[in-house]
Structure 1
Amino acid sequence: MHYVSLPDSTTRPLPFYLAMEEWLARNHTDDLFFMWQVAPTVICGRNQIVDLEVNLDYCRQNNIRVCRRKSGGGCVFADGNNIMFSYITSSANVTSTFSAYTSMVAGMLRDLGLPASATSRNDVLIGEHKVSGNAFYHLPDCGRCIVHGTMLFDTDMTHMSRAITPSRAKLESKGVKSVASRITTIKANSDITLAEFKSFTRKSLCGEKTLELTQCDVTRIEKMAEEISSDEWIYRKTSRATLCRTTRIDGAGEFTAHIDLAGSEIRSIDLSGDFFMLTDLDSGLLDRLKGVRYSREAILSALEHTDVHDVISGVNNDRFVNLII
């Protein structure tokens, strides 16, 4: 695996690094890894509703930027004492790629002498506390997977707990009372410095292999970042709906389905939440239900040749229909 380095040490806005992941995935075929840090930022998952997940007033008052990524999952907070990891690889199996990555990170932490483990969903733990949350998405047109996540080194817990507002159902499902009560940091468990930790991580995962980007590469990446920097992308609203269904599915996440009906037929479905997508949600699933009668039998029939589990991690066809009916 090659470590990707930029031509300078400038700290860039978070959308740049998300665009950098995709640019690398589309323009290189090797396994790649890089680390990055940003000014205080909340990063929402692709399908989340920003107004429900983020304390926007607090973020404005404390100069905390809000962004949205292309991967699913929940909100995370990043600042200069938090390290972001990005991993790009070629794979047709998103689930196994994700599992391999979190196991690799947990193994690296164990090499530091920390009691780290990877969970079945998206976290890396030290003991029983979360130190790294991760998300992924697949680019089927080029056969590449992107896995990215946080590594909490010495993050501002006050900003984190006040900027992100998870639902009570999510916290109760994890048996905790607040965001801060379920996390830990590298600094709380080790005397290693931030610079030493970054150096150790790079050598542990990549050895001496390096891919150096040029200024021309940076310019192309900056152009790609414009789309995910826009307010339209970050604060996009759900469509007007006739019905709204909200539930939490163990092992999959929180779901809110906004269902727009024309008479007894489905006009559109908008699905929001912190779940993980394995492919495009609209073309892979939701668009197939347009014009279908709004009944359990009709929806199951329309999905006869569709395996929802291949679109949304942890959700089969019956669970999906129970969500929207």
Structure 2
Amino acid sequence: MKYLKDPTVEQAFPEYLQTTAKFSDALVYFYHPQTPIVICGVHQNVFAEVNMAYLQAHGIDLVRRGSGGGAVYVDPGNLTYVFIDTEPTVQHPHFRKYAQPVVKALQSLGVNAESDSRNDLTVDGRKFSGMSASKIGHRVSYGGTLMIDVDIEAASSVLKPSRAKLRAKGVQSVHSRVTNLREHFDDAHRTVSIDQVQQTILTQVFQTTDLAQVPTYRLTEKDWQAIVSLAHTKYGSKTWIFGAGNQHQYYRDGYFNGIGTVGIGFSIQDNHVVDSKIYGDFLQPNSNLHAITERLDGTEFNLSALTEAFARADLTTSIGPIPSKRLAEIMLDRLHDEQF
């Protein structure tokens, strides 16, 4: 498909399906990238998460999706799965609900697959898929990447998770905590193709062995033109991909179990915080980070004032149940500096 040669088109897909009235049913679709791509989460600082020199030297595309979670490297050895559904009252992502058919499908291929307490799918303690979620109105999207034959060396070189996250995971690098599924398929399925993995997942989702009976919608040329327009005007813009207002004096972050990495970029003027911005790979679908930085900007740069500012912001709804004082301590501690 000619349109999918543009990596920004895939990032526009969930938003189009979530906001277009005719797509009101529960949907599932797959994406198989044609070239290497780094996809950052909606709240991440790309300069802190990505080795830009490696990315540019190896001709890897950089895009940003509309959902939370962390940066991922995908290439032709990856299979991406996305569920679109209606969840009017969702406050926290229901990852396990949508991970279940993927896990069961992989188990049928001999993989000892599990879903963890947050958003990762693992085998023998090593990650092969990370999921993300977004919410627009009452429509949600849940997506994840399956590492089947991905170039792990390239992934390890181009991604640079924060030191706080690696310490929390007890690992030294991306390479040491991820794995390709290929080595975990049983002997009968060792040479299974990516298309066959996709078909196996579909049989689990729809509980049928006859995929010809699965209701299928084929996008029209009008659909494609709308998706391409959204891709180019929003997801392909430099402001969307690289972010705006990220020229900070300081960037400090910390890792919170069950929530993820939270980073704060900020400058100091006359001992007061200015131009603050919240970053991270947290997964809340209803984040209002601007409301937090509004409280933070103008605050005196000391523990008491920062703690009070965070306490007055709704951290739980926007990020997760993190202690206000702990976030203030991270801002004040030079040991949490990240260099990029």
- Match of 1:103, SS state, is helix
For residue 35 of structure 1, what is the aligned residue in structure 2? 30
Gaps of 5+ in 2: 209-213, 333-340
**CA distance 1:102–1:320, shift in 2 (3 Å):** farther
Counterparts of 1:266-277 in structure 2, within 5 Å, are: 266-277=273-284
User: What's the TM-score, normalizing by structure 1?
Assistant: 0.85
Residue 75 of structure 1 pairs with residue 71 of structure 2: yes
Do the aligned partners of 1:94 and 1:138 also contact (CA within 8 Å) in 2?
Answer: no
With over 3 angstroms needed to count, the CA separation of the structure-2 counterparts of 1:108 and 1:322, relative to structure 1, is farther
Name whichever of 300-309 and 46-55 sits farther off. Answer: 300-309
Alignment match, 1:145: 140
| Counterparts of 1:155 and 1:24, CA distance in 2 | 27
Amino acid at match of 2:18: A
Q: 1:167 deviation in Å?
A: 3.0
**What is residue 154 of structure 1 aligned with on the other side?**
149
Distance in 2 between residues matched to 1:236 and 1:106, nearest whole Å: 34
Within 5 Å, give how 1:240-319 maps onto structure 2.
240-241=247-248, 244-260=251-267, 263=270, 266-291=273-298, 306-319=313-326
Residue 203 (structure 2) pairs with residue 197 (structure 1): no
- C-alpha contact 1:83 1:151 (8 A) present in aligned 2: yes
SS of the aligned residue for 1:71 comes to coil
Task: Tell me which residue corresponds to 1:213.
Answer: 219
Aligned residue for 1:34, secondary structure, equals: strand
Task: Could you tell me which runs of 5 or more consecutive residues in structure 1 were left unpaired when the two chains were aligned.
Answer: 1-7
3-state SS of paired residue (2:181) = coil
What amino acid maps onto 1:156 in structure 2?
D
Higher deviation after alignment, 289-298 or 171-180: 289-298
Q: Is the 8 A contact 2:245 2:275 kept in 1?
A: no
Q: Normalising by the residue count of structure 2, what TM-score does the alignment of the two structures yield?
A: 0.82
How far did residue 290 of structure 1 move?
4.4
* Aligned CA-pair RMSD: 2.6
Question: How many angstroms does 1:14 deviate by?
Answer: 2.3
Asked whether the 8 Å contact 2:303–2:325 carries over to 1, the reply is no
- Give the aligned partner of residue 234 of structure 1: 241
Tell me whether 124-133 or 162-171 shows the greater mean CA deviation: 162-171
Report the identity percentage.
27
Instruction: Identify if the C-alpha distance between structure 1 residues 163 and 310 changes in structure 2 by more than 3 Å, giving closer, same or farther.
Output: same
1:116 aligned partner = 113
Segment of structure 1 superposing worse, 175-184 or 309-318: 309-318
Q: Which position in structure 1 is the counterpart of 2:60?
A: 64
2:104 corresponding residue in structure 1 = 107
Report the CA distance between 1:223 and its aligned residue.
0.4
Q: State yes or no: 1:15 paired with 2:8.
A: yes
1:132 aligns with 2:129: yes
For the residues of structure 2 that align with 1:55 and 1:96, how far apart are their CA atoms?
29
Q: Could you list the per-position Cα deviations for residues 141-185 of structure 1 after superposition, in whole angstroms to 9, with x for gaps in the alignment?
A: x22222222101111122212121223332232122321222222
